[in-house]
Amino acid sequence: MYRSLTSLSFRVCRHNRGTLTSQRLPPKLRRASLPPHQPRSSSWHCHTRWYNSQVLAALASSTESLPGMAAKMLLGRGDAYEGFIVSADDLPTSPEEFHSQLEHSLQDWTTSGKKGIWITVPAAKSQLIPIAVKHGFDFHHAERSHVMLTRWLPTSENTLPPNASHQVGIGAFVMNSKGEVLVVQERFGPLKGSGVWKMPTGLVLAGEDITEAAEREVLEETGLEATFEAILAIRQSHKAAFGKSDMFFAVALKPVDDTQPLVAQATEVDGVKWMPLEDFASNPFSATKPLYNKLIQQCVAYANGTYKGMKASVMNSGRGDRVELLMHGSESPKL
């Protein structure tokens, strides 16, 4: 790489010792100026070496590449933590080309002091994964469409954030105007065939608020449209599905129309009905389990008006137009 830079700078110097105008260089390098004109002498080679140092310095701080060099490097962008995120769209399809570009890039990233390297490999280019692994990349996570690989370049402790540690679920406490609670029986899962009636539950989808997930799950499992009112309890557990931790939110909702007919979701639910609050509270399944018994008590207290739970507000985060969900106490603090 440096040999090609030297020959290029010498040709430019010979034809134009003034302001560099060669279109073969990126704009940042085209603006570089050479020392004042001097006769060709022993100092000529000093000027060439001086210009070479300017080329290398500018190239090190530029996101552009000289013609021919771009083909040897993986494209992408630096992140806010002195790392580099490789562009998935610009990955080559050829394993041989990827191998060459990755080797050149690793040399450049190491020399320039980059730390964490992130490569997203689309499923359509999965043939590149073994090559990255052979070059020291680890699996970070996988989705339906891609695999994320990372490598920590410094000899210091790896501080890259790990994959997501939790899955998030909801349970919906819905009560109608008659004081009855909406309950379902599972078609599949650990409670299948047990005869246990429970609140509708489900997982929160990526990009979905807790409040939205609760409303969606109730509609899907029971056919009832309901709106969010409060968060009643939060349960955390570990060693759940796939070895991840688990967060569960018990959420209170209010029916839009509690005379609406209930329709059980055929693929997940065996039955759906309204159950008297007293029967819901004395369910033998939860009565023998301290944690679930406490959760049910929170629901009953909310139904009786002695507990208000937490509210949820969608608010601007102060980062452009981005909005986020804030869960907070129902009473506004006195300032």
Determine which one of 220, 221, 268, 278 is catalytic: 220
278 a catalytic residue: no
Q: In terms of DSSP bridges, do strands 138-142 and 146-152 run parallel, antiparallel, or are they unpaired?
A: antiparallel
Give yes or no for a contact between 220 and 265, defined as CB atoms under 8 angstroms apart.
Answer: yes
CA distances to 133, 208, 209, 226 from 320, in Å: 38, 20, 19, 31
**How far is the C-alpha of 179 from the C-alpha of 281, rounded, in Å?**
12
Nearest C-alpha neighbor of 252 from the set 277, 233, 235, 275: 233
Residues paired with residue 147 on neighbouring β-strands, in sequence order: 121, 142
Q: Give 154's DSSP letter.
A: S
Give yes or no for a contact between 72 and 4, defined as CB atoms under 8 angstroms apart.
Answer: no
Give yes or no for a contact between 174 and 226, defined as CB atoms under 8 angstroms apart.
Answer: yes
Please identify every residue annotated as catalytic: 220
